[in-house]
């Protein structure tokens, strides 16, 4: 971000300076959304800079950083890799924002929301927008999120269920700005890789996400054990890394699923893997609006998903055969079995899912929503809060 004297927000000739602050920049749903937003927003109207609380990711994990840098977007790292370094990071963040004089500071994720509020304080010139992307669990996290969200000028949430959470639990006003993805990435994979399914003789269920209790992969293994052992026609691929990796592999061994479940680790070719799969599974215990589900629908996959935040909004009228109550193992397994046994229904739902994403959850729609909010923030947020986006 260019260091220039602050100008009045009403000057139509100037760029709107936006600082995007996030906890880290390894590949993840929120991180990818930030990178896509920064690189796709109109650069003639918006001057964007990105700040990460954490250090630069290691080579091989810095895909998003390189994407930003290749587009000429400045990326700064505060090297806050432990809670003990937070005070230093807050001071550095405060100095950077003071020097850059952004009109809008938009933070993503819990730690970035807290740190950015601390850095800016109440007497600030920039408009502060918090990004709430998941229904935070744990009383202390909710208390901190609520306390600092009330200091922000606006909270953006990614689903209607999360808006209810912000209102009822955090007690803050919010706007819904759903996630969106670039469909071209999945079209390219489809064009190149058609006919590659069933190379090993088995059809593939796939689940994608951080190996963390939130994603419910432990519950998924228990739920699908009987189905996977009773038929040699299907296997399960789990894509991702995280703190539960060893425990999940041990669980698969104890359930005698070691030859039916593949742990693929962190992968850069998720669109390829989704295109080559036959059924997508989402077993999350809580969410905001799961990017993994958006990507699966864009890849024309049928899905079975737990009814957590954002999922019903994504599926819309396609919920009946694809949505299961969170924690309902029997209902989830029944839906998986029904889709596994009906290839025509899988194709029909996959095409309908793709059409749903094309209509409501594209990257262009997401970028345009944010651009409108940043314009209003540079003037006044009252207009935006008075006229929220239409429900989908």
Is the full-model pTM beyond 0.85? yes
* Domain 16-180+362-386 and domain 184-360 have a common topology: yes
The 3-class SS string of the chain reads CCCCCCCCCCCCCCCEEEEEEECCCCCCHHHHHHHHHHHHCCCCCEEEEEEECCCCCCCCCCHHHHHHHHCCCEEEECCCCCHHHHHHHHHHHHHHHHHHCCCEEEEECHHHHHHHHHHHCCCCCCEEEEEECECCCCHHHHHHHHHHHCCCCEEEECCHHHHHHHHHHHCCCEEECCCCECCHHHHHHHHHHCCCCCCCCCEEEEEECCCCHHHCHHHHHHHHHHHHHHCCCEEEEEECCCCCHHHHHHHHHHCCCCCCEEEEECCCCHHHHHHCCCEEEECCCCCECCHHHHHHHHCCCCEEEECCCCHHHHHHHHCCCCEECCCCHHHHHHHHHHHHCCHHHHHHHHHHHHHHHHHHCEHHHHHHHHHHHHHHHHHCCHHHHHCCCCCC
Q: Give pLDDT, residue 190.
A: 57
Q: What is the pLDDT of residues 48-73, one digit of tens each?
A: 999 999 999 999 889 999 999 999 99
CATH code linked to domain 16-180+362-386: 3.40.50.2000
Model confidence at 223, in pLDDT bands (50, 70, 90)? very high
Has domain 184-360 been given CATH number 3.30.70.2190?
Answer: no
- Is 365 a residue whose pLDDT tops 50? yes
Domain locations along the chain: 16-180+362-386, 184-360
Q: What is the pLDDT of residues 95-136, one digit of tens each?
A: 999 999 999 999 999 999 999 999 998 778 899 999 999 988
């Amino acid at each position: 971000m260019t260091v220039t004297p602050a100008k009045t927000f009403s000057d139509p000739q100037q760029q709107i300076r936006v600082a995007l602050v996030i906890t880290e920049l390894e590949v993840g749903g929120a991180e990818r959304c930030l990178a896509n937003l920064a690189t796709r927003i109109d650069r003639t109207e918006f001057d964007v800079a990105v700040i990460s609380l954490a250090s630069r990711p290691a080579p091989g994990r810095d895909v998003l950083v390189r994407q930003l840098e290749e587009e000429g977007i400045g990326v700064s790292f505060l090297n806050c890799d432990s809670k003990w370094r937070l005070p230093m990071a807050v001071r550095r963040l405060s100095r950077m924002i003071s020097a850059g004089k952004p009109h809008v500071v938009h933070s993503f994720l819990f730690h970035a929301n807290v740190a950015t509020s601390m850095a800016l304080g109440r007497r600030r010139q920039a408009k502060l927008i918090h990004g709430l992307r998941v229904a935070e669990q744990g009383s202390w996290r909710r208390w901190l999120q609520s306390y600092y969200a009330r200091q922000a000028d606006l909270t953006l949430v990614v689903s209607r269920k999360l808006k209810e959470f912000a209102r009822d639990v955090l007690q803050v006003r919010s706007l819904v700005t759903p996630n969106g993805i670039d469909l071209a990435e999945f079209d390219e994979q489809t064009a190149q890789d058609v006919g590659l399914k069933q190379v090993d003789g088995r059809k593939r269920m796939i689940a994608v996400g951080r190996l963390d209790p939130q994603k419910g992969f432990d519950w998924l293994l228990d739920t699908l054990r009987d189905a996977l052992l009773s038929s040699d026609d299907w296997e399960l691929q789990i894509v991702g890394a995280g703190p539960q990796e060893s425990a999940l592999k041990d669980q698969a061994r104890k359930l005698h699923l070691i030859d039916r479940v593949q742990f693929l680790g962190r992968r850069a070719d998720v669109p390829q893997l989704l295109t080559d799969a036959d059924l997508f599974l989402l077993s999350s215990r809580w969410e905001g609006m799961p990017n993994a589900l958006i990507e699966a629908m864009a890849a024309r996959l049928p899905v079975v998903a737990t009814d957590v935040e954002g999922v019903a909004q994504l599926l819309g009228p396609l919920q009946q055969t694809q949505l299961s109550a969170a924690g309902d193992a029997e209902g989830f397994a029944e839906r998986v079995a029904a889709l596994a046994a009906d290839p025509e229904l899988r194709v029909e739902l996959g095409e309908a899912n793709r059409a749903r994403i094309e209509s409501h959850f594209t990257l262009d729609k997401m970028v345009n929503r944010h651009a409108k909010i940043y314009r209003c923030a540079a003037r006044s947020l009252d207009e935006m809060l008075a006229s929220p986006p239409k429900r989908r």
